[in-house]
Structure 1
Amino acid sequence: MEESVFVDPEFHALIVFCVILPLGMYITLMRKDKIQRRTMLLYGVIFTLTSAASLFLLRSLAEIAIQTVSLIDDLVFASGVSVALYLLPLISAEIGISLISQVLTVRLDDSRSGRGSNCR
């Protein structure tokens, strides 16, 4: 039995998927002047997948926290405080869905107006 969740590799993966990766992608997107549709779509999918991975890791860490002897683990991952931790993956998923929606909206507008590359 581990003494704390904070030394578990899943916790470190959570930090990567929940904070570092989305923040790095967001900074990269904000620094670019022009972004191709495919790149935007790829970023949207990656944002959404990282949020799914974060949710999976949070649930896994909550189960592990119950089995540890540390009370701080229970407080952070297996109590009402853990609801706040679910906000970061939700924000990441929202950014991903917004990017995908933007790509689809622009594509539909282009095809409706006849500017699309595959329009007849």
Structure 2
Amino acid sequence: MNWTMHYGQAAVLGILRSVMAHAGLRGPLSSAKFAVVRLTNDQILENATGVGAPPQTWLRKELLVDVLHKTVYAFVTGAVADSLAARTGLGPGESHAAVRPGRHADVGPLPRKESPLP
């Protein structure tokens, strides 16, 4: 049952990472953000069902292994999702960012006719 839960979570959350990549949230920073989502989801399910305990009560070695496994999963999933999403070109967020590279407060949204969304 434990493996079913873990593989099920990984499959469902993999879809979320794909959505992130297609929206233009790509690269290592997005994978790091996704790792936090993956860890949080796991803890919510384990603690809500009573099969787990809060991470602060775990042995440090167990915590390290769990965080390491989910981080590797997040970055591998991110690499796959990013490469598949790149086949369709820039995502909406990336298109917006390409208007004027860098950090600028005065860059508004893309005009509707230039948006990749209908």
- The bucket for the TM-score relative to the shorter chain is 0.3 to 0.5
Higher helix share: 1
Larger Rg: 1
**Which TM-score applies when normalising by structure 2?**
0.36
